[in-house]
A = this chain, B = another copy of it.
């Protein structure tokens, strides 16, 4: 039996409920595939603030570093929104990304045939959409220095953030972009704002230089404003998108919303050689927390991504993905994806349905 150490970060809001379902599913698949999991739970976000005063206790970072993979649920809530920046749940998440060197964020936006009507876009526009956004996650304007609020010569306040990338930072994420495209449909679209930003011009120059190493990848470039338009106009034109931290934040959310069911979308955040973090794209949904209403499927699919990308257990990953397809085919729906004629279930009910088909 292979044994993996997995750190669980339930976080806030619906986090604990959905991660419990994912743990059950992992244990069930583990038995079938002769894989064992040693789960450790640690604090992050608002619940960590309440307990320890900080959103990312050192102990959590240590536990994560020593594990093979990390399954994160979601962080944040109204309760902590007005704390100073250092004590905000989001700061814990950014600290986790920096602390573990998670430079790459993979965010698939896939339309599931069973849920196509959940999209606000017309069926013919979104049918078959399958986009992977490869977002840089530890650089750019999220981390660039200088930043802060400074006094100008006239005594006025000036807020400043710096969007910066070094060549090495660009190289490693763009390389992953090309490699991801190679494993998919062979099309890569790099998104920047090179007509205005120097940092984007450097990004584009690097991408063009690296293209020679990937002759089998069809490369294109879009300005970020045009990319936002094209996602709405004709999303099927995209296969893999590679972009910086801020543009990736915006575009991956827009792409996710095209599917109409962000309760279904997982993500992976990867480092060069340490453990990765796997988490749903959706948030902590404090308004429905503790009511057994949450959709656990994005969390369950995040566990599948963990198996595939983090632990190299792709057959176990496939089993989970197939189980999700089968419960959807069987008509089980949580509230967020409910439609006429389907069977409404809660978070736990969805978990039981998954265990049954597994």
In the complex with contacts A163-B141, A250-B250, A253-B225, A120-B232 CB distance below 8 A: yes
A112 within 8 A of B: no
Q: State which of A8-16, A37-45, A191-199 sits at the interface with chain B.
A: A191-199
For the complex, count residues of A whose C-beta is within 8 A of B: 59
The reply to whether A160 and B163 form a contact with Cβ atoms under 8 Å apart is: yes
Q: Check: A115 CB closer than 8 A to any chain B CB.
A: no
Instruction: Please tell me if A224 contacts chain B, counting CB pairs below 8 Å.
Output: yes
A147 B198 Cβ-Cβ under 8 A? yes
Contact with B along A9-27 (1 / 0, CB 8 A): 0000000000000000000
Whether B158 and A201, one on each chain, are in contact in the complex, defined by CB atoms closer than 8 angstroms, is: no
Residues in B neighbouring A179, C-beta threshold 8 A: none
A151-189, CB < 8 A from B = 152, 156-168
Choose among B197, B228, B234 the residue that contacts A161 (Cβ–Cβ < 8 A): B197
The one of B88, B193, B201, B234 in contact with A195, judged by C-beta atoms closer than 8 angstroms, is B88
- Which B residues lie within 8 Å of A167 (CB)? 156-158
Tell me the chain A residues, 59-87 only, with Cβ under 8 Å from chain B. Answer: 85
Known: A88-B195, A90-B195, A229-B254. A157 touches B148 (CB 8 A): no
Tell me the minimal C-beta distance from A138 to chain B in angstroms: 13
A113-154 toward B: CB 8 Å interface, digit per residue (1/0)?
000000011100100000000000000011010011100100
Q: How many copies of the polypeptide does the oligomer hold? A: 2
**CB-based contact A198/B228 at 8 Å:** no
Q: How far is the CB of A101 from chain B (nearest CB, A)?
A: 18
The binding surface of chain A is classed by DSSP as helix
- With an 8 A cutoff between CB atoms, is A233 at the interface? yes
Contact residues in B for A168 (Cβ distance below 8 Å): 156
Interface-centre pick from A88, A200, A228 (highest chain B CB count, 10 A): A228
A229 touches B256 (CB 8 A): yes
How far is A158 from B163 in the complex, measured between Cα atoms in Å? Answer: 10
**Which 8 pairs show the lowest CB-CB distances between chains A and B?**
A159-B199, A159-B202, A225-B253, A229-B257, A228-B254, A232-B257, A120-B125, A90-B195
Per-position contact with B for A190-217: 1 when CB-CB < 8 Å, else 0? 0001011111111100000000000000
Cβ contacts under 8 Å, A313 to chain B: none
**1/0 contact trace for A259-275 toward B, CB 8 Å?**
01010000000000000
Assess whether A164 is in contact with B159, with CB atoms less than 8 Å apart. yes
Q: Using Cβ atoms and an 8 Å threshold, which residues of chain B touch A195?
A: 88, 90
Give chain B nearest CB distance to A3 CB in angstroms.
Answer: 37
| Bound Cα distance A202, B150 (Å) | 11
Cβ distance A148 to chain B, nearest Cβ, rounded Å:
5
Chain B residue with minimal CB distance to A232? B257
Measured CA separation A254–B166 after assembly (Å): 29
* Measured CA separation A260–B233 after assembly (Å): 7
- Is B122 a contact partner of A159 (Cβ separation < 8 A)? no
Contact (Cβ within 8 A) B149 A202? yes
Q: Is the C-beta of A219 less than 8 angstroms from some C-beta in chain B?
A: no
